[in-house]
Amino acid sequence: MSGRSRTLSTPRWIHEHCEDDIATFSSVILKVGAGPPGAVRVSLPNQFLHQSPSSPNVTDMSLLVLSASDVDALVSEFTPLDLQLLMARVFAQFSRPRAGEEAEGKAGRGICMPPRLSVPMPKHTVLFMPARLGAVPGQSVDPQANFQGTAVKVVSVPKSGDPRGLPGTTLVLDEATGAAKAVVNARKLTALRNAAGSLLSTSIVGPSNPQTLVTLGAGKQIEAHINLHLRRFPSINRCTIVNRTLNERASSLKDAVSTQFPSVTFRLLASDPISDSTIHTTKEIEQAIRSADLIVCATSSTKALFPSSWVRDGTHIILIGSYTSAMREVDDALIRRSLKPNSSRSTNLIVDSGEACLHEAGELIAAGLHPSQMVEIGELVPTDDEGNVDIQAYSSLIEKKRPRQDGGGFDGPVTIFKSVGVGIQDVAIASAIVNKALSFSGGRIGTQIASYDG
């Protein structure tokens, strides 16, 4: 497998944290002795590289179409480590030091994200979200780094809920010609990129050996979060899924993940059951949250899903549901607990975009927070002098995390990751998917339309 290489001096971390990924998907190739004594050489796989222009199944005038099943097949080629590092690169570039920001804007970081366009339809509201993630001016970047590109995501939000998720399509443009390069079914990609960002937060600030996971919601977002976290952390042995009702979607989710992860004990609880068992179920939910190491919330709730007093000190909470000032998934008290400093950070409230969260995240708006009370996750990703992700420093950061200690109270510090989504995440995940498809000879995945623009 070809790819870029760089030398790491912490092979122990790679073996301890990435061994399963390497063995299963060959996401990183270790070539012992290829560098300085005690170092290892890591080659990034093809999904992180642009397809060579000379590839036999690619023409300048062709168009690649990736269906939902194509995307599923391609996603299986990515390991949690692949996706985690992909989002690390995206967020590191997004949160680069703001020197000259007033004069250059986001263009100084190679980023262009125009406001999304909303078009009403009788049964849907259609959102058009263009974005570009390019090279940083003056930065020495490998031109084959494939998380960069230009894309437009189109999402139709139905008036009533759709158990399949939101209909979505991403159009990826060719960087050389400006023509359409690929059309990608994006129904699952939004959930995947959100889960990858959340996994990055868990790896950086969450407990190093989580054993219990509690999720609130039962949609595609929750499915993707369960999948990535259980693949990344084999220490997780219990997972409780809490949904408003025990509907078909929730039951199907439990069945699917139980089959995929047979060594994990799954439970499905209803937070709003229509029966005489309300008190009993509420107690079960409280017990699950009290014992949780990780909590993931992905709902459209307008009130807190549980009180802060249920959450144990040191728990990592992921919030991805709210996107308006009227929505919230946790109470003010829990937000305040994340503001308590620790030895390495002045705040434990981590966000994807500080500006966006203060305008769209109901929990943070209601708490009346100041930008200085939160930190963007990209600022926590170690980078070298040129702003590229420093994998050696990143591995050291993860290695130094301490396991969560037993005991503790229910009013002390917690860590929170709040995400409302950043457009360049869509560019990165779609570009990686497309270039992975193009890396297969003979057009094995996807439909190639020859002479589309000829």
Q: What is the rounded average pLDDT of the residues 344-366? A: 92
H or E element, residue 225: helix 220-232
Q: Is the pLDDT reported for residue 3 higher than 50?
A: no
Q: What is the pLDDT of residue 452?
A: 87
| CATH superfamily, with its number, for domain 191-422 | NAD(P)-binding Rossmann-like Domain (3.40.50.720)
Question: Amino acid letter at 289?
Answer: I
Q: What is the pLDDT of residue 140?
A: 57
pLDDT band for position 138 (50/70/90)?
Answer: low
> Range(s) for CATH 3.40.50.720 in the chain?
191-422
Query: Residue 377 and residue 205: Cα distance in Å, rounded?
Result: 10
| DSSP strand pairing (5-8 vs 29-30) | unpaired
Percent of the chain with pLDDT over 70: 76
Residue 426, SS3?
A: helix
pLDDT band for position 376 (50/70/90)?
Answer: very high
**Which tokens hold the place of 241?**
């899924």
H or E element, residue 243: strand 238-243
Query: Residue 454 and residue 300: Cα distance in Å, rounded?
Result: 45
Q: What is the rounded average pLDDT of the residues 347-368? A: 95
Q: Is the pLDDT reported for residue 141 higher than 90?
A: no
Query: Residue 241 and residue 197: Cα distance in Å, rounded?
Result: 20
Q: What is the pLDDT of residue 157?
A: 84
Percent of the chain with pLDDT over 90: 63
Q: What is the pLDDT of residue 278?
A: 60
- Structure confidence by residue, pLDDT tens digits, 254-269: 999 999 999 999 999 9
Query: Residue 365 and residue 252: Cα distance in Å, rounded?
Result: 35
> Range(s) for CATH 3.30.1780.10 in the chain?
56-189+424-449
* pTM for this entry: 0.82
For the ranges 105-109, 115-119, 242-246, 352-356, the lowest mean pLDDT is seen at 105-109
pLDDT band for position 50 (50/70/90)?
Answer: very low
Q: Is the pLDDT reported for residue 322 higher than 90?
A: yes
Q: Is the pLDDT reported for residue 22 higher than 70?
A: no
Task: Please answer whether residues 221 and 185 qualify as being in contact, where contact means their C-beta atoms are separated by less than 8 angstroms.
Answer: no
Q: What is the rounded average pLDDT of the residues 356-381? A: 95
Q: What is the pLDDT of residue 35?
A: 39
Query: Residue 181 and residue 151: Cα distance in Å, rounded?
Result: 10
Q: How far is CA 364 from CA 350, 355, 361, in A?
A: 11, 11, 6
Q: What is the pLDDT of residue 175?
A: 87
Give the start-end residues of each E strand in 117-166. Answer: 117-120, 124-133, 149-158
pLDDT band for position 143 (50/70/90)?
Answer: very low
Q: Which residue has the higher pLDDT, 15 or 211?
A: 211
Q: What's the CA angle centered on 426, arms 425 and 427, to 5 degrees?
A: 90
Count of CB atoms within 10 A of residue 246's CB?
17
Q: What is the rounded average pLDDT of the residues 443-451? A: 86
Mean pLDDT of the chain: 82
Cβ partners under 8 Å of residue 48, min gap 6:
3, 4, 82, 86, 145, 146, 147, 432
**Which tokens hold the place of 135?**
């090279």
Question: Amino acid letter at 220?
Answer: K
Q: What is the rounded average pLDDT of the residues 144-157? A: 84
Q: What is the pLDDT of residue 231?
A: 97
pLDDT band for position 107 (50/70/90)?
Answer: low
Q: Is the pLDDT reported for residue 386 higher than 90?
A: no
Q: What is the pLDDT of residue 247?
A: 92
Q: What is the pLDDT of residue 405?
A: 65
- Structure confidence by residue, pLDDT tens digits, 296-310: 999 999 999 999 999
Fold category of 56-189+424-449 in CATH: ornithine cyclodeaminase, domain 1 (3.30.1780)
Q: What is the pLDDT of residue 347?
A: 85
Residue 446, SS3?
A: coil
Q: Is the pLDDT reported for residue 58 higher than 60?
A: no
For the ranges 161-165, 205-209, 322-326, 340-344, the lowest mean pLDDT is seen at 161-165
Q: Is the pLDDT reported for residue 15 higher than 70?
A: no
